[in-house]
């Protein structure tokens, strides 16, 4: 009898509603838990986004640094400036033909110029001439950020070397100038009055908008963006008096999409690179 | 029978699954980022290690080239993995265990050759081409980078070695790897590459000495092949492999270098001052081991002439001298052709040299003399008269004693204008006043070097192309990035 009454009470409770207090309490607890979960998710999302941004930026920095170090090592001249730096490297390879694969190009042979200087000679015979005597009067301009070194005739007229009338496109080895800085491998770029332009490949790094570009003049599909979505990219190259070591500082201010980067976080993204110029400006 | 709590239990399960799913998605996304970064960093690190391997190959080759300069030539030894490919072509493969990440091997393959187009015909010095490949395995799964420019830069070999099929392909690992190929060219460096170089201390006394340079080959840097103050050059470099350089208020028109030391009392330097200098001078060996037929030794105590020969290296140009001892008015003359045309003489002095009183050594016009000495060397009196005043015409070489602890001395001075180049890395060297003007022309290399009474030293840059080869220097470097 007692058991039957108890069961009836339970049945009555289970079909009865919650009290207002119970509902309010449960709603409050549920809301608190949901809010906590939401905050945790938002925080996780921000953390994820920040981590992803940092990883991407770090990879961009490493890429740029490695590209530049690779070019600095083989450079014969570097014109350093913030956000716009030009590097000249010797013409190691034979020219790329149309649609030719990069690996199908040949490495030119290194030869001496007679003064202990080295150059990588053209592989195509008949299109170049060696000088055996000093050039006629000419003016010399050193490498600049806009172009390689040039030798330009002081007076009009063509250039004849060893009985060969040099034509535009010919390659000329200048090796008997009293100023040895002038000696090197040149290409005839203007026939009358003649002008010789140093035989070198120009590579330029520069910032444009929010991207840093690398532009190599003998490569197809140039320039290429090495890093994009970069905000306030600072690129500094220091060329100490030795002229043999290049120090590069690459500072990113990553685009943190969630809450913006603090100064401390930005400072942590500075990337330093010190590269020795292996060619030591002794090769052309 | 009814189960009134079933719906409540189910909703909790859904919530749990939902939360776990969201957390899993977040974790997966994070793992993807971390994994990508891991691979990127792994490729970068391995790529850098491969460069270290390639450049180590160049260093190994230069080391062997230096060994070939020693009196006892142990270069290109097969026990170190070198083989001769015929002519001057050497090939080597080195495997360095535990050099990479996770204890991986570093493989270095090197080819060294001296092609005829790299022979300097002005002095018959051979430049060498060193090509090296450094290869490192990738310790993680072979996976391409997620950035196209990374792939283009690093050219990781995931399945096929990119240099395969060429004459300098690496010995490939079985899995993914990175290979970097370096081509470097080295040129010989003369023992007389600097105005002064000492292994130990370098003391210029307190003479306010001026050190500069000229180039006897270049009319813009000399007059009739002689020093001209109006054409003064700035390659009068001085260096010590030690830590002490007492400059004595010297003015150096060139660079000053020590090995982690201090250059004291420098009045002026036009070049740079460095503290990272290091050079281990190549010892000088006994020359007559290659002289056939061996000349009969002579002793010189009186006035005498030794004739030079028009043919360099001929037996008629070679002399072995037991010792030289002058105390009065004796004169030793190296005679050449009457017309002053080039002639050559080599003298190996097995004992001591002492020239005092009015004694003198004369190098006639056109004679190009090399003097090797094994004993103590002391010339004062009327000194050494190099008539043409070309330091490159009179080269002194001090032979290293068999016992490195033996102390040998080299003192050179006297009343004549001193014009010579001396390479004696095992000798304590003292250069005394250079005649009435105090001027000295040439280059001096000693265990220690001290200059007394010398007012100015003029280094002839042409000496950089003369004499024994003391080292090899990198003059070209490039990485094959195809």
Residue A283 pLDDT greater than 50, yes or no:
no
Q: What pLDDT does B422 receive?
A: 96
Measured at the alpha carbon of residue B309, what is the angle toward residues B306 and B311, in degrees to the nearest 5? 155
Residue A124 pLDDT greater than 50, yes or no:
no
**Candidates B33, B47, B120; nearest CB to A52:** B33
Q: Does the distance separating the beta carbons of A41 and B117 come in below 8 Å?
A: no
**Chain A residue numbers touching B480 (CB-CB < 8 A):** 92, 107
B78 touches chain A (CB under 8 A): no
Q: What pLDDT does B167 receive?
A: 59
Q: What pLDDT does B37 receive?
A: 78
3-state helix, strand, coil in chain A (%, to 5): 30, 30, 40
**Chain B residue numbers touching A58 (CB-CB < 8 A):** 37
Q: What pLDDT does A227 receive?
A: 82
SS3 A40: helix
Q: What is the pLDDT of residues B169-225, one digit of tens each?
A: 667 667 888 999 999 999 999 999 999 999 999 998 877 899 999 999 888 899 999
H or E segment to which residue A212 belongs: strand A211-216
Q: What pLDDT does B371 receive?
A: 96
- Window 9-28 of B: residues touching A by CB (8 A cutoff) are 19, 22, 26
Q: Does the distance separating the beta carbons of A114 and B118 come in below 8 Å?
A: no
Q: Calculate mean pLDDT across residues B360-384.
A: 94
B59 touches chain A (CB under 8 A): no
Q: What is the pLDDT of residues B456-466, one digit of tens each?
A: 999 999 999 88
Q: What pLDDT does B88 receive?
A: 64
- Listed in sequence order, the residues at least 6 apart from B34 whose beta carbon sits closer than 8 Å to its beta carbon are A51, A55
Average pLDDT, chain A: 75
Q: Which residue of B has its CA nearest to A113?
A: B120
B422: β partners: B396, B444
A206 touches chain B (CB under 8 A): no
More confidently predicted of A4 and A64 = A64
Residue A91 pLDDT greater than 90, yes or no:
no
Q: Does the distance separating the beta carbons of A283 and B44 come in below 8 Å?
A: no
Q: Whose structure tokens read 């190994």?
A: B60
Q: Calculate mean pLDDT across residues B289-302.
A: 85
- Listed in sequence order, the residues at least 6 apart from A241 whose beta carbon sits closer than 8 Å to its beta carbon are B272
Sheet holding A171-174, edge to edge: A128-130, A171-174, A184-191, A194-198, A150-153, A138-141
More confidently predicted of A185 and B54 = B54
Q: What pLDDT does A11 receive?
A: 52
**Candidates A52, A70, A90; nearest CB to B481:** A70
Answer for the pair B133, B108: CB distance below 8 angstroms, yes or no.
Answer: yes
Q: What pLDDT does B419 receive?
A: 93
Confidence band for A123, pLDDT divided at 50, 70 and 90? very low
For the ranges A7-11, A13-17, B20-24, B249-253, the maximum mean pLDDT occurs at: B249-253
- Cβ neighbours around B429 below 10 Å, total: 26
Whole-number Å distance between alpha carbons of B162 and B50 = 14
B231 touches chain A (CB under 8 A): no
Q: Percent of chain B having pLDDT more than 70?
A: 94
Measured at the alpha carbon of residue A141, what is the angle toward residues A135 and A147, in degrees to the nearest 5? 120
Residue B23 pLDDT greater than 90, yes or no:
no
Q: Whose structure tokens read 């030391």?
A: B261
Q: Calculate mean pLDDT across residues B62-83.
A: 87
Q: What pLDDT does B126 receive?
A: 92
Q: Give the minimum alpha-carbon distance from A226 to chain B in angstroms, rounded to a whole number.
A: 7
B162 touches chain A (CB under 8 A): yes
Measured at the alpha carbon of residue B474, what is the angle toward residues B426 and B116, in degrees to the nearest 5? 100
Q: Which long-range contacts (CB under 8 A, 24 or more apart) does B142-148 make?
A: B142/B175, B142/B176, B143/B39, B145/B39, B145/B40, B145/B43, B146/B36, B146/B39, B146/B40, B147/A59, B147/A63, B147/B40
Confidence band for A198, pLDDT divided at 50, 70 and 90? confident
SS3 A107: strand
Q: Calculate mean pLDDT across residues B87-98.
A: 71
Q: What pLDDT does B90 receive?
A: 72
Q: What pLDDT does A264 receive?
A: 52
B118 touches chain A (CB under 8 A): yes
Residue B2 pLDDT greater than 80, yes or no:
no
Residue B69 pLDDT greater than 80, yes or no:
yes
Nearest to B475 by CA among A110, A200, A245: A110
Nearest to B147 by CA among A228, A163, A189: A228
Answer for the pair B416, B385: CB distance below 8 angstroms, yes or no.
Answer: yes
Q: What pLDDT does A28 receive?
A: 94
> What is the count of residue pairs from A and B with beta carbons less than 8 Å apart?
105
Sheet holding B360-363, edge to edge: B304-307, B331-335, B360-363, B384-386
Token reading at A225: 């963006």
Nearest to A178 by CA among A133, A244, A127, A228: A133
Q: What is the pLDDT of residues B109-159, one digit of tens each?
A: 888 988 888 888 888 899 999 999 999 988 877 777 778 888 888 888 887
More confidently predicted of A227 and B353 = B353
Nearest to A146 by CA among A72, A222, A209, A88: A88
Measured at the alpha carbon of residue B161, what is the angle toward residues B159 and B164, in degrees to the nearest 5? 140
Q: Calculate mean pLDDT across residues B339-358.
A: 94
* Rounded (10°) angle between helices B6-67 and A20-73: 10
Q: Calculate mean pLDDT across residues B275-288.
A: 88
Q: A95-109, A176-190, A260-274: which has the minimum mean pLDDT?
A: A260-274
H or E segment to which residue A276 belongs: strand A271-276
SS3 A255: coil
**Candidates A59, A103, A242; nearest CB to B37:** A59
Nearest to B154 by CA among B166, B164, B165, B144: B144
Q: Whose structure tokens read 């009898």?
A: A1
Whole-number Å distance between alpha carbons of A250 and B310 = 63
B273 touches chain A (CB under 8 A): no
Confidence band for A261, pLDDT divided at 50, 70 and 90? low
Q: Calculate mean pLDDT across residues B292-314.
A: 91
- Cβ neighbours around B285 below 10 Å, total: 17
- Window 387-416 of B: residues touching A by CB (8 A cutoff) are none
Q: What pLDDT does A1 receive?
A: 47
- What would the 3-class secondary structure string for chain B be? CCCCCHHHHHHHHHHHHHHHHHHHHHHHHHHHHHHHHHHHHHHHHHHHHHHHHHHHHHHHHHHHHHHCCCCCCCCCCHHHCEEECCCCEEEEEEEECCCCHHHCCEEEEEEEECCHHHEECCCCEECEEEEEEEEEECCCCCCCCCCHHHHHHHCCECCCCCCCCCCCCCCCCCCCEEEEEEEEEEEEEECCCCCEEECCCEECCCCCCEEEEECCCCCCCCECCECCHHHCECCCCEEECCCEEEEEEEEECCCEECECCEEEEEEEECCCEECECCCCCCCCCCHHHHCCCCCCCEEECCCEEEECECCCCCHHHEEEEEEEEECCCCEEEEECCCCCCCEEEEEEECCCEEECCCCEEEECCCEEEEEEECCCEEECCCCEEECCCCHHHEEEEECCCCCCCCCEEEEECCCCCEEEEEEEEEEEEEECCCCCCCEEEEEEEEEEEEECCCCEEEEEHHHHHCCCEEEEEEEEEEEECC
Q: What is the pLDDT of residues A233-246, one digit of tens each?
A: 666 666 554 456 77
Whole-number Å distance between alpha carbons of B107 and B170 = 8
Burial classification of residue B86, based on how many CB atoms lie within 10 Å of its CB (0-12 exposed, 13-18 middle, 19 or more buried): exposed
- Cβ neighbours around B230 below 10 Å, total: 5
Q: What is the pLDDT of residues A27-84, one digit of tens each?
A: 999 999 999 988 988 887 777 777 777 777 778 888 888 998 899 888 887 877 778 8
Q: What is the pLDDT of residues B386-443, one digit of tens each?
A: 999 999 999 999 999 999 888 899 999 888 888 999 999 999 999 987 666 778 999 9
Q: A49-53, A169-173, A280-284: which has the minimum mean pLDDT?
A: A280-284
**Candidates B4, B33, B122; nearest CB to A55:** B33
For the ranges A72-86, A175-189, A204-218, B141-155, the maximum mean pLDDT occurs at: A204-218
Whole-number Å distance between alpha carbons of A114 and B217 = 14
Residue A254 pLDDT greater than 60, yes or no:
no
Whole-number Å distance between alpha carbons of A1 and A7 = 10
């Amino acid at each position: 009898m007692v058991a039957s009454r108890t069961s009836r009470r339970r049945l009555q409770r289970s079909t009865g509603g919650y009290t207002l207090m119970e509902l309010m309490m449960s709603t409050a607890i549920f809301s608190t838990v949901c809010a906590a979960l939401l905050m945790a998710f938002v925080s996780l999302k921000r953390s994820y986004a920040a981590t992803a941004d940092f990883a991407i930026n770090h990879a961009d920095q490493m890429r740029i640094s490695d590209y530049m170090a690779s070019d600095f090592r083989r450079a014969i001249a570097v014109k350093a400036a913030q956000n716009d730096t030009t590097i000249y490297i010797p013409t190691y390879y034979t020219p790329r033909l149309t649609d030719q694969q990069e690996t199908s190009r040949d490495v030119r042979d290194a030869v001496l110029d007679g003064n202990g200087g080295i150059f990588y000679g053209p592989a195509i015979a008949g299109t170049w001439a060696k000088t055996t005597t000093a050039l006629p009067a000419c003016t010399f301009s050193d490498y600049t950020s806009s172009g390689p070194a040039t030798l330009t005739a002081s007076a009009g007229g063509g250039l004849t070397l060893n009985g060969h009338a040099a034509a535009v496109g010919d390659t000329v080895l200048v090796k008997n100038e009293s100023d040895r800085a002038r000696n090197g491998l040149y290409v005839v770029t203007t026939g009358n009055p003649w002008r010789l332009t140093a035989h070198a490949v120009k590579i330029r790094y520069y910032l444009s908008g929010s991207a840093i570009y690398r532009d190599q003049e003998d490569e197809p599909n140039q320039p290429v963006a090495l890093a994009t979505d970069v905000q306030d990219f600072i690129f500094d190259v220091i060329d100490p008096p030795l002229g043999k070591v290049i120090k590069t500082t690459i500072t990113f201010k990553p685009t943190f999409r969630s809450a913006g980067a603090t100064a401390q976080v930005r400072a942590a993204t500075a990337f330093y690179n010190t590269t020795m110029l292996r060619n030591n400006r002794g090769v052309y | 029978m009814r189960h009134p709590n079933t719906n409540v239990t189910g909703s909790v399960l859904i919530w749990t699954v939902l939360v776990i799913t969201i957390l899993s998605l977040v974790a997966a996304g994070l793992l993807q980022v971390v994994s990508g970064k891991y691979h990127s960093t792994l490729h970068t690190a391995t790529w850098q290690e491969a460069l270290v391997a390639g450049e180590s190959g160049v260093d190994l080759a230069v080391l062997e080239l230096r060994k070939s300069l020693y009196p006892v030539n142990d270069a290109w030894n097969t026990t170190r993995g070198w083989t001769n490919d015929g002519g001057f072509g050497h090939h080597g493969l080195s495997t360095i265990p535990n050099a990479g990440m996770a204890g991986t091997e570093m493989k270095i393959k090197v080819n060294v050759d001296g092609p005829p187009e790299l022979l300097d015909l002005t002095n018959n010095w051979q430049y060498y081409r060193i090509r090296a490949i450094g290869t490192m395995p990738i310790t993680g799964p072979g996976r391409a980078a997620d950035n196209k420019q990374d792939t283009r830069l690093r050219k990781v070999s995931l399945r096929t070695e990119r240099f395969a099929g060429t004459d300098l392909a690496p010995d490939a690992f079985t899995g993914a790897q990175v290979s970097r190929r370096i081509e470097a060219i080295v040129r010989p460096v003369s023992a007389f590459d600097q105005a002064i170089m000492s292994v130990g201390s370098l003391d210029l006394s307190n003479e306010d000495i001026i050190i500069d340079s000229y180039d006897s080959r270049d009319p813009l840097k000399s007059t009739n092949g002689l020093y001209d103050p109006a054409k003064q050059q700035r390659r009068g470099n001085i260096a010590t492999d030690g830590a002490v350089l007492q400059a004595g208020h010297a003015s150096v028109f060139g660079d000053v270098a020590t090995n982690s030391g201090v250059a004291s009392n420098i009045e002026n330097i036009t070049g740079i001052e460095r503290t990272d200098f290091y050079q281990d001078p190549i010892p000088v060996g006994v020359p007559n081991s290659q002289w056939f037929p061996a000349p009969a030794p002579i002793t010189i105590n009186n006035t005498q002439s030794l004739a030079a020969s028009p043919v360099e290296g001929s037996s008629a140009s070679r002399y072995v001298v037991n010792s030289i001892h002058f105390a009065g008015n004796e004169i030793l003359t190296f005679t050449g052709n009457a017309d002053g045309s080039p002639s050559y003489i080599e003298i190996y002095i097995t004992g001591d040299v002492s020239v005092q009183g009015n004694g003198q050594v004369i190098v006639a016009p056109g004679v190009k003399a090399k003097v090797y000495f094994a004993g103590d060397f002391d010339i004062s009196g009327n000194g050494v008269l190099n008539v043409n005043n070309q330091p490159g015409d009179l080269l002194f070489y001090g032979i290293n004693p068999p016992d490195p602890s033996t102390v040998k001395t080299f003192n050179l001075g006297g009343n004549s204008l001193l014009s010579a180049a001396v390479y004696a890395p095992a000798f304590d060297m003292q250069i005394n006043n250079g005649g009435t003007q105090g001027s000295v022309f040439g280059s001096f290399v000693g265990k220690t070097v001290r200059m007394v009474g010398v007012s100015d030293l003029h280094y002839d840059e042409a000496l950089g192309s003369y004499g024994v080869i003391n080292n090899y220097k990198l003059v070209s470097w490039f990485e094959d990035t195809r």
